[in-house]
Amino acid sequence: MTTASPSFSLLPPYAPPLQVGRAIATTGHAVVSAEGLCGLIGAERAALDALRPSWDDLPPDAYLRDGGRYRRRRHACFVADGDRLEGVPHRAHWQPVEYNALHGGLERWFEPMKPEVVAQPVWSRLLLSLSATCSALKGARPWYVEAHQFRIDTTDGIGRPTPEGAHRDGVDFVAVVLVGREGIKGGETRVFEAAGPHGIRFTMTDPWTMLMLDDAKVIHESTPIQPVADHGHRDTLVLTFRAGGFQGPEA
């Protein structure tokens, strides 16, 4: 891991939707505004907003090895192949220890995403459009997609979006979509070259802002959140795209 010093602009460096692939190919990452994401997937913002209430019904993450109570989540897996998206039977989330020193090597059976959420047309549009971006970068193929709904809250006084620290995920591409944030400060996004000295930092504040990463080229993290009122939270959707199959102890 490098000890990069990120630049000091906290405004997201937005890329136009038509240049997302070029930005990822060049720098390993691209940030897309909410308007840009809607253009990229061909959907109205209201359709995305219809997904937001489901973040109010996430069960606690029972696998936090730091003893925290600040994370809630649901999980689901899909295969995106061209214009077809298929859900797969519910499965454990697994990462090797070299990518997640805190939770790696552990089969984590999170509660599944609700059927009424993944049945919404905008859900398929989102996953298929981002899979098409992956194919444009690495060639057309099926993409094995894991979806994670996260709520990080301030139950413990502080919430940690990435308790494992700056990391890679062991996949091909990662998309981090901000769904909302209320009553908090912090939650700054940091992206560093995996094999170089440079990095950037910024804070996503507008719902449906998206950061998309080439997981081989960069490492990333989000700083802890703190409340500015009695209680606060930060909601995100994290999507990972992997060629060849899902991660698992048998892979």
Write out the chain's pLDDT in tens, 251 residues: 344 444 444 889 999 999 999 999 999 999 999 999 999 999 999 999 999 999 999 999 988 877 789 999 999 999 999 999 999 999 998 866 665 545 555 788 999 999 999 999 999 999 999 999 999 999 999 999 999 999 999 998 999 998 888 888 899 999 999 999 999 999 999 999 988 888 999 999 999 999 999 999 999 999 999 999 888 999 999 999 999 999 888 65
Give CA–CA dist 50/36, Å, rounded. Answer: 18
What is the topology classification, in CATH, of domain 17-243? Answer: Jelly Rolls (2.60.120)
Helix (H, G, I), strand (E, B) or coil at 71: strand
Domain ranges of the chain: 17-243
Number of neighbouring beta carbons within 10 Å of residue 8: 8
Give CA–CA dist 131/106, Å, rounded. Answer: 27
- Output the pLDDT for position 56: 98
* Side-by-side strand order, sheet with 29-32: 29-32, 210-214, 173-182, 233-242, 143-153, 71-81, 84-87
- Output the pLDDT for position 9: 44
pTM over 0.85: yes
- Output the pLDDT for position 230: 85
Tell me which residue has tokens 């059976």: 109
- Output the pLDDT for position 103: 57
Q: Phi and psi (nearest 5°) for 206?
A: -90, 125
Helix (H, G, I), strand (E, B) or coil at 134: helix
- Output the pLDDT for position 8: 42
